[in-house]
Chain A
Amino acid sequence: MIINKNEIPSLLDKLAAEYRVMAPVKKNGLVEFAAIKSGEEACLTYANTKKPGKEILFPQSEELFNYTVDAEGVRMQDNVDPTSTIVFGMRPCDAKSLVLLDNVFKNDQYEDVYYLTRRNNTLIVGLGCNEPAATCFCSSMACGPFSKEGSDIFLTDIGEAYVVEGISEKGKELLAKLGLAEAGAEARAAAAKLQQEVKADGTINIEGLSDKLGGMFEHPFWDRLHEKCLGCAACTYLCPTCHCFDIADEAKDCNGCRVRNWDACMFPLFTLHGSGHNPRPNGKARWRQRLMHKFNYFVERYNATACVGCGRCIKNCPVNLDIRQALADIRALD
């Protein structure tokens, strides 16, 4: 199917009448996903959002439940969010990250009702990247500028119009209702050409990396990797696959809520025990955790690498600690 670019605002208006539509918008000098009221607000020419798409399903700070204590006891209200949502124009790296996060929030040991309720009520419209940035390395990470994994519907920008593909059953059902025109052979060919030819940096070889890391826990490599790291959470908070969280109660008098906040393995407080002991007491142990979690632990547990190559950690690191370089250095080790 196909839709002209000048028809996008009215399509979004139509969708927004029935669904909560989250789209990239420019706000305070940043592009971020926000619920839009009018299709005109959407900005689809962005390279990528500052914050990763994970925040739509797994917000940075999420009130799990509220509670009130009074003479009759404790009253609790669960904050599960079942709003039907369409995420319009998510980049393939972020869409793929959701597939990876599904493993964490739904597995044989645990099902997270907050995440899964959102997930089941959310439809992802992916948007291919005609011009991947210099920091993008999705093509190295089992993803790519036109990877459709995680998208229910997929858009390819062919200039004046988007070629629209239904990917999942959910996506195809929605498309059937929208009544878009069929794409002509020329448009389909243009989209196929882009999908085939546009690549991001695909030179980062992670073949065998997980096994190698498995034997590297005590390797002297970790002694220096972290040296310049400041220990902030720019890389982890802006990472679409980092998913560690901390839970805190925020209460005032008899009213309170339990909040789930993103946590970061770069913080000294991360995994600090009540006893005062910390199994990851320094930058070395924390950086080892970060790399191991992405490229070894996650692979062993879920058979996938917890990195989609979006490059946000590279762009936003205050000291230019480049994960691509770290991976190349590990590869070069004997």
Chain B
Amino acid sequence: MNTTEKIRETAKKLLADKKVDLVVGFAQGSLPLRSTPYFARTPEEAENLIWSATCENNLANFLRKRPEKTAVIAKGCDVRAIVGLIKEGQINKDNLTIIGVPCEGMVDRKQICELVGGKDILEVTDTGAELILKGKDFEQTVAKADVMFGSCKTCRYNTPVLFDELIGEAVPAREADYGDIEAFEALSAEERNAYIAQEMQKCIRCYACRQACPMCYCSECFVDCGSPAWIGKSAKSVDDNALFQAVRVFHLAGRCVDCGACERACPMGIKLSLLNRKMVKDVKELFGAEAGVSLEDPPALNTFKFEDKEDFLL
């Protein structure tokens, strides 16, 4: 049985045995290179579940404050977010069944689209290591490893850290690599500012990043507050757009699980993970903490250790 078949079997059994009321997973999407979050409530609906290299959304987003008994088909980064949300009291662990799926990495449709020069891709075949892309008058083969999301290329937790059942074999963890962040840190302040301004100029303040983030769940985000208006509401102020992202990153300090869902959701193609990953790297270096990798670790910002570095304080 392949992964999709195993997922269907497991989900059908959980639903038929009434162990859960709902299975959250993915179904085939309406476009090539797309899958779509899917909510199966009957064994028949579980037949629509799939697994592929396009299951890009972080499904932890759909699990907060669920009243019913729920199972989730979760890859490594989904589980990291689930662990974080359990610790923050947003998910009741007793009501959740985690069907973990070791993840080889998801492919980035935006990169692929660029690779074929923006041409319409009408059909995609996944051969395992490669994707065969077909359009009206072209066919092109790409290695999946070359078109993977940045966050997947450096993922160290592709095998879920917590699960009730694991579908398939654990996959070897990748090496942590903050080369992208180190390169950014090496730039001058002016160059960094210019880069951020160029990216934030594209922002349309649709808040897809915030909405796609499993850890962004404030009932009222600071950007939405009208009185006081902490931040301008219009999208044309690049400074305000950058401020929105900066505050979001700070609010995710020690909580961001580096899943890249924000960047994947951005319709404007803004490189959002740069700021998030800088914070992830800092938290790891300064406090030795990584979010969502263990139920026992205390949250980084809720902890004080005598030897904590303080040299960034005034």
Q: A interface, by DSSP: helix, strand, loop or mixed? A: loop
B39 within 8 A of A: yes
B30:A324 contact, CB within 8 angstroms: yes
Q: 1/0 contact trace for B58-79 toward A, CB 8 Å?
A: 0001100000000000000000
In chain B between 213 and 232, which residues have their CB closer than 8 angstroms to a CB of chain A? 224, 226, 229, 232
Kindly report which residue of chain B lies nearest to residue A32, judged by CB atoms.
Answer: B202
B14 within 8 A of A: no
By a CB distance below 8 angstroms, the chain A residues around B269 are 29-30
**Contact A28 B206, CB 8 Å, known A232-B212, A324-B30:** no
User: Which of the candidate stretches B249-257, B260-268, B285-293 sits at the interface with the other chain?
Assistant: B260-268
B39:A248 contact, CB within 8 angstroms: no
By a CB distance below 8 angstroms, the chain B residues around A61 are 233-236
**Contact A237 B30, CB 8 Å, known A47-B118, A250-B232, A261-B233:** no
**Contact A28 B30, CB 8 Å, known A250-B232, A318-B57, A321-B36:** no
A228:B62 contact, CB within 8 angstroms: yes
B31 within 8 A of A: yes
In chain A between 294 and 325, which residues have their CB closer than 8 angstroms to a CB of chain B? 314-316, 318-322, 324-325
A234:B201 contact, CB within 8 angstroms: no
B31:A135 contact, CB within 8 angstroms: yes
A60:B235 contact, CB within 8 angstroms: yes
B39:A228 contact, CB within 8 angstroms: yes
A261:B235 contact, CB within 8 angstroms: yes
In chain A between 103 and 146, which residues have their CB closer than 8 angstroms to a CB of chain B? 131, 133-135
The CA-CA distance from A314 to B120 in the complex, in Å, is: 14
How many residues of chain B have a CB within 8 Å of chain A? 41
B184 within 8 A of A: no
By a CB distance below 8 angstroms, the chain A residues around B36 are 228, 319-322
A331 within 8 A of B: no
A232:B206 contact, CB within 8 angstroms: yes
B66 → A minimal CB distance (Å)? 12
A320:B224 contact, CB within 8 angstroms: no
Partner of A320 from B35, B211, B235 at Cβ < 8 Å: B35
A248:B38 contact, CB within 8 angstroms: no
By a CB distance below 8 angstroms, the chain B residues around A316 are 267
By a CB distance below 8 angstroms, the chain A residues around B145 are none
By a CB distance below 8 angstroms, the chain A residues around B30 are 314, 320, 322, 324-325
Partner of B120 from A134, A237, A261 at Cβ < 8 Å: A134
By a CB distance below 8 angstroms, the chain B residues around A232 are 206-208, 210-212, 265
In chain A between 148 and 181, which residues have their CB closer than 8 angstroms to a CB of chain B? none
Q: Which 3 A-B pairs have the closest CB atoms?
A: A61-B234, A318-B265, A232-B208
User: What are 5 A-B contacts defined by CB distance under 8 Å?
Assistant: A60-B204, A228-B39, A233-B208, A234-B208, A322-B30
